[in-house]
Amino acid sequence: MLVELAAFTAAAKTVAGAIQAGRELSTVATSIGKMAESKDALQTRLSKKKNRTLSSTESEFEEFMALEEIRQREEDLLKLMVYQGRVGLKDDFIKFQVENRRQRKEAQLAAKKAQQERNETILAIAGIAGMFFLTLAAIGALIYFVKGF
């Protein structure tokens, strides 16, 4: 949890510095990506813990507070974009975040699908190999019984 918060904070400072210096968002795209990844990782971790029946209330509260701090830093960053950035910077930033989140979700789904396909391929190969060895065993048993008589 603290790792995600630290990564988000560092990236937010980089983005804020760039905005104050008058640079474009594209120059700090990696930092914006780190911000979004850190926030999503923390939200995912918190949602997974909500699904479990046994969990530590203290750690949940810490994660909630970390999410609240991230939300507050995002608000501060958006205000900075409105007052010190160019016209439309806030809207561009929000669009960028939405697109980045969509791309990450698509990449996660593609990775999950690829893993599932690999597992299915391995199971199919194992099934074929099993049938092959059973066939060999059956042929061997048949030869054994034919020679025995």
Distance CA 32, CA 27 (A): 10
pLDDT at residue 16, rounded to an integer: 82
To the nearest 10°, report the CA torsion of 85, 90, 96, 97: 120
Say whether 52 sits in a helix, a strand or coil.
Answer: coil
pLDDT at residue 121, rounded to an integer: 95
Chain centre distance of CA 140: 51
pLDDT at residue 90, rounded to an integer: 84
pLDDT at residue 125, rounded to an integer: 95
Low-confidence stretches of the chain (pLDDT < 50) are none
Please, what sign has the CA dihedral across residues 45, 18, 92, 107?
negative
Cβ atoms 12, 28 nearer than 8 A: no
pLDDT at residue 10, rounded to an integer: 86
pLDDT at residue 119, rounded to an integer: 95
- The structural domains of the chain, with segments of one domain joined by +, span 2-109
Distance CA 66, CA 30 (A): 21
pLDDT at residue 128, rounded to an integer: 96
pLDDT at residue 52, rounded to an integer: 61
